[in-house]
C-alpha cells in the first residue's frame, strides 16, 4: 500500500513538472530570442520658385509592422523685411485608418550673433481630438567660435495634458570636421526623461563619417546607452547614407538599429527613401511568465 502511494505521488510530481515547469522555461527561452521589425519611408517633394519665395507639395508613405500610413501636404514661404515667413497644411491617414490634418505658420529672422525661428501647428483628428504644438529654435555663434543650437517644443492636447521637450547642442570645429555635445529633456504626464551625448564627424575620401554615444534615463528611472556609427557620400543623382546603432538598457536588454537612406534629385525637387531595421534581444517577458505561472499554481491550489 505504501509503495502504491509513493508511485501515485511520483506520477503527480511528473505531471506537475510537465504542465507547469516546462512551459514556463520554454516561454522564458522564447523571451530571450531576437525580435526584428523593419520599416520603409518614402518622401517626394516638389519645389517651385516664386517672386516672393517658393511653394512646395509633399507626399509621404511609411510601411511598417503595423501597416501603411500616408501624408500629403503643401506650403509656401516668402521673404520679409526681417527674414522669412511660411505656412503649410498637411493631412494623413494612419496605419489603422485614423485620419488627421494640421496647419502650421512660422517665421524666422537673423539676430546679432545668429538666427531664430518659431512656429505654431494646430491639428485635429477624424475623431474630433485636437492639439497645438509650439516650436522655437535659436542658433547662436559663441565667442570661442562654437555654435549653440537650442530647440524647444511644447505640445498641448485638448484634455489639457502637455509634453515639453528641450534640446541643446553645441558644435565645435576640429581639424578633421566637427564635434558636438547634446543634452535633451522631455517632460510629460508620465514624468521627466533625460538624455546626454557627444559625437564627431570627419571628412573622408568618399564623403563624411560620424560616430556618437548617448545615454539616458527614462521617466520611470530606467537607464540606457547607445553607440552609433554612420557614413554619407555623394552620388550621381544626390547622396546616400547608412548607420548602425547598438544599445542596451540597465536591465541588460539590447537592441540594434540599421538605417539606410538615399536622396535623389528630380525634375522639380527630390525623392527620399529611408529604411530602418531594428532587432531586440533580452528577457523582456520572463517576469511576466513567472507571474502567470504563479497565478496558475495558486488557482490550482484553490481548486
| Three-class DSSP labels, 158-179 | CCCCEEEEEEEEEEEECCCEEE
Same domain, 165 and 295: no
What per-residue confidence (pLDDT) applies to 235?
Answer: 94
Same domain, 103 and 147: yes
Same domain, 175 and 165: yes
Q: Please state whether the predicted TM-score (pTM) of the whole model is above 0.85.
A: no
Same domain, 222 and 153: yes
Residue 24, helix vs strand vs coil? helix
Q: How many CB atoms lie within 10 A of CB 168?
A: 16
Beta strands in the chain (DSSP E): 35-49, 53-64, 67-79, 83-93, 99-111, 114-125, 130-141, 147-157, 162-173, 177-188, 191-203, 207-217, 223-234, 238-249, 254-265, 269-281
Same domain, 146 and 172: yes
Distance of alpha carbon 197 from alpha carbon 179, whole angstroms: 11
Same domain, 278 and 291: no
What per-residue confidence (pLDDT) applies to 256?
Answer: 97
Same domain, 275 and 174: yes
Same domain, 19 and 39: no
What per-residue confidence (pLDDT) applies to 26?
Answer: 41
Distance of alpha carbon 120 from alpha carbon 107, whole angstroms: 10
- The set of residues, in sequence order, having a beta carbon less than 8 Å from that of 257 and lying 6+ positions away, is 244, 245, 247, 276, 277, 278
Same domain, 160 and 65: yes
Same domain, 132 and 199: yes
Low-confidence spans in the chain with pLDDT less than 50: 1-9, 11-31, 285-303
Same domain, 107 and 57: yes
What per-residue confidence (pLDDT) applies to 282?
Answer: 78
Which structural domain range is residue 4 located in? 1-32+284-303
Query: Grid coordinates standing for 99?
Result: 485620419
The neighbouring-strand residues paired with 175 are none
Residue 123, helix vs strand vs coil? strand
Per-residue exposure over 192-224, b if at least 16 CB sit within 10 Å of its own CB, e if not: ebebebebebeeeeeebbbebebebebeeeeeb
Distance of alpha carbon 227 from alpha carbon 212, whole angstroms: 6
pLDDT digits (tens, 9 = 90+) for 142-170: 999 999 999 999 999 999 999 999 999 99
Same domain, 9 and 59: no
Domain count, the chain: 2
What per-residue confidence (pLDDT) applies to 33?
Answer: 56
Amino acid at each position: 500500500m505504501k509503495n502504491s502511494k509513493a508511485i501515485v505521488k511520483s506520477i503527480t510530481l511528473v505531471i506537475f513538472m510537465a504542465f507547469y515547469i516546462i512551459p514556463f522555461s520554454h516561454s522564458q527561452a522564447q523571451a530571450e530570442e531576437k525580435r526584428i521589425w523593419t520599416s520603409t519611408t518614402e518622401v517626394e517633394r516638389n519645389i517651385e520658385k516664386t517672386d516672393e519665395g517658393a511653394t512646395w507639395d509633399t507626399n509621404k508613405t511609411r510601411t511598417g509592422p503595423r501597416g501603411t500610413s500616408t501624408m500629403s501636404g503643401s506650403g509656401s514661404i516668402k521673404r520679409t523685411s526681417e527674414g522669412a515667413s511660411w505656412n503649410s497644411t498637411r493631412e494623413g491617414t494612419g496605419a489603422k485608418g485614423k485620419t488627421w490634418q494640421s496647419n502650421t505658420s512660422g517665421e524666422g529672422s537673423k539676430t546679432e550673433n545668429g538666427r531664430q525661428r518659431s512656429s505654431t501647428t494646430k491639428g485635429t483628428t477624424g475623431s474630433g481630438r485636437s492639439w497645438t504644438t509650439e516650436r522655437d529654435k535659436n542658433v547662436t555663434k559663441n565667442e570661442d567660435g562654437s555654435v549653440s543650437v537650442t530647440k524647444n517644443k511644447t505640445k498641448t492636447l485638448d484634455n489639457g495634458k502637455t509634453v515639453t521637450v528641450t534640446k541643446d547642442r553645441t558644435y565645435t570645429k576640429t581639424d578633421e570636421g566637427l564635434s558636438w555635445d547634446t543634452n535633451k529633456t522631455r517632460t510629460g504626464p508620465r514624468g521627466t526623461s533625460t538624455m546626454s551625448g557627444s559625437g564627431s564627424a570627419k571628412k573622408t575620401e568618399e564623403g563624411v563619417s560620424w560616430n556618437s554615444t548617448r545615454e539616458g534615463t527614462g521617466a520611470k528611472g530606467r537607464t540606457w546607452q547607445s553607440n552609433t556609427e554612420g557614413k554619407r557620400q555623394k552620388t550621381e543623382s544626390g547622396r546616400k547614407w547608412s548607420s548602425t546603432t547598438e544599445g542596451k538598457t540597465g536591465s541588460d536588454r539590447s537592441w540594434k538599429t540599421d538605417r539606410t537612406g538615399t536622396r535623389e534629385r528630380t525634375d522639380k525637387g527630390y525623392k527620399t527613401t529611408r529604411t530602418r531595421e531594428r532587432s531586440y534581444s533580452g528577457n523582456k517577458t520572463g517576469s511576466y511568465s513567472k507571474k502567470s505561472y504563479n497565478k496558475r499554481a495558486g488557482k490550482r491550489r484553490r481548486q
